[in-house]
Chains A and B, each alone.
Chain A
Amino acid sequence: MIELDGITAGYDRRTPVVRGASLSLAPGEAVGLLGPSGCGKSTLARVVALLHRPEAGRLAVDGEPVCAWRHRAPRRLRTAIGVVFQQPRLAADPRLRLVDLIAEPLRATGRREGAARRAAELAETVGLTGELLRRRPHEVSDGQLQRACLARALVLRPRLLVCDEMTAMLDASTTAALVAAVESYRAASGAGLLAVGHDRVLLGRWCDRTAEWEDVATG
């Protein structure tokens, strides 16, 4: 379903942070990508999430080659992939109440109808309820905000979820709760997962298989 072939990407053409990365995910497969911090795995995650345009290489989603990234990417592809980052505070608009944060992708894609109800439903699946949903990011803990960010990533029912160090800042119980929420979504939807991280024990327990950065990229 996802094929990466010879991806080179970075922020400065002379010194790409990802070189020649190749990886494929079967439909519905959960793959953990393991690598040390600073190795470029987050950049690769952003390429897969259509947020960062690579300099070279090929990305295909369900056999269809991707040729545009960010806002230029076709909406049909953008909505097929959900993403959660390591730091929820950097990924959440501080002005939005959690319920609006979760519903944001629905509104951005013109699906206002029933957006609040759908957001509340999803919030419940990640363990957020009631009054918490009316709070803004600074009024909740990191763990609660990350739960909202996961719900936001699931709100458009993506076929692939990209989790970039989603639980690195969180305690053991919140980590297990977020992973359980991802897995129950995947069980119901058949979605695939690319989980990027450095915790071997966690990704080994969570994913169908893990791939080492050194085997995925050439440098």
Chain B
Amino acid sequence: MTEPSATRPSTPAHPSADHPPLLEVRGLSVRFRMPGGRHVAAVSDAGFTLEAGQCLALVGESGCGKSVLASALLGLLPANAQTAGTARTAGTELLTADEAVLARTVRGRLVGLVPQSPAAHLTPVRTVGAQLAETARALTGLRGEAAARHAAGAAERAAYPADHLDRYPHELSGGLAQRAATALALVGDAPLLLADEPTTGLDRDLVEHTADELRRQVDRGRALLLITHDLAAAQRTADRVAVMYAGRIVEIAEADRFFGDPGPRHPYARGLLNALPERSFTPIPGLPPELGDLPAGCAFAPRCSKSDGRCASQRPVFAGGTACHHPEGAAP
């Protein structure tokens, strides 16, 4: 795995009174009501904070709940979802905001979404410049030349070349399409960016490039929640890493400690890193549990080599950066 491209200024891990976090998530749970009265607990009791100039990577396998968490923050959950807890940014409660508030003040303005598939996010029949200007008009109220200038500014910040603003999406390489999508996320000057699997299916060069572009936005003072299964992209971009398993955050750690020494504290997180081809390339045995049928104790117990009777019966609480009865090493 490659080293992060640049050393970063150290940022405080915990918000202080005069630096309220840009995003504060507490006790966030999302349940889906299924036919037959069943419930699926997609996210359970998730909590974290995120400050300006910081990137938190939320990692885990498909189906672990990380995308549902992102959808909850953007008010994009389906109708059968029930939420609990709070998710606050800039004084706005995201979980209970109605669609009008979300559309008028949240999406694009407070939270910019960097999509998974830029191709699907860009309108094929209009040039990138026209789409950016239209988004600028919608989000900022600017008109005419002013909107076009604002759009060009967002393009520049996303390192999208000015002489390609008159191109159509299908004329762009994968890298430029990703930058165009990032530019769209930046148009509204949202202080919080949410990137949902922005590197899926990209070549390694392009992954690194996209990760570096996102990091640049963070270094300019934005907060970034990076949702990914790609540990290399997380390592390249993030200050902190949150690991999700079966709908719960099981570890939050500084990226340096997580990827380097002493490594993760939670057995699942350790297993995930060990599975990388540049490490031992050994899979974690078994499969994750069904979110509709979670075990009573620790959800990882059936797959964990350290599991004991307590693990099977008693759910570990989150403490010292991890939710585990027998974590590795000492709390940081």
Q: Which residues of A contact B (CB under 8 A)?
A: 36-38, 86, 127-128, 132, 141-144, 165, 168-177, 179-180, 198-202, 204-206
Contacts and interface: CB of A to CB of B under 8 A. Distances in A.
Contact of B203 (A36, A177, A201): A36
Nearest to B202: A37
CB-based closest 10 A-B pairs: A177-B283, A141-B63, A171-B61, A176-B283, A205-B277, A172-B275, A176-B275, A173-B275, A171-B229, A173-B284
B80 to A, nearest CB: 15
Nearest to A143: B62
B283 A180 contact: yes
Contacts of A198: 203-204
A200 B273 contact: no
A84 to B, nearest CB: 16
A37 B200 CA distance: 12
Interface in B175-221: 200-206
Task: Tell me the interface secondary structure of chain B in the complex.
Answer: loop
Contacts of A143: 61-63
B281 A141 contact: no
B200 A169 contact: yes
A37 B204 CA distance: 10
A179 B286 CA distance: 15
Task: Tell me the interface secondary structure of chain A in the complex.
Answer: helix
B205 A205 contact: no
Contacts of A165: 201
B139 interface: no
Given A176-B275, A201-B278, A205-B277, A171 B203 contact: no
A169 B67 CA distance: 14
Interface residues of B, number: 29
24 contacts: A36-B205, A86-B201, A132-B287, A141-B61, A142-B62, A143-B63, A144-B287, A168-B200, A168-B201, A170-B61, A170-B62, A170-B229, A171-B60, A172-B229, A172-B272, A173-B61, A173-B271, A173-B275, A173-B283, A173-B284, A175-B275, A179-B281, A198-B203, A201-B278
Given A144-B287, A173-B61, A200 B201 contact: no
* A128, A173, A175: most-surrounded residue (chain B CB, <10 A): A173
A200 B200 CA distance: 16
Interface of B: 1, 60-63, 174, 200-206, 229, 231, 271-273, 275-278, 281-284, 286-288
Contacts of B61: 141, 143, 170-171, 173-174
A160 to B, nearest CB: 22
Contacts of A86: 201
* B205, B206, B281, B288: most-surrounded residue (chain A CB, <10 A): B281
B27 to A, nearest CB: 25
Contacts of A206: 277
Given A127-B286, A141-B63, A180-B283, A169 B272 contact: no
B281 to A, nearest CB: 5
Contacts of A201: 1, 277-278
Contacts of A176: 275-277, 281-283
Nearest to B197: A169
Given A172-B273, A173-B284, A37 B62 contact: no
Contacts of A168: 200-201
Nearest to B231: A172
Given A143-B62, A175-B275, A202-B277, 16 more contacts: A36-B203, A132-B287, A141-B61, A143-B63, A170-B61, A171-B229, A171-B275, A172-B276, A173-B61, A173-B271, A173-B284, A176-B283, A177-B283, A179-B281, A199-B277, A206-B277
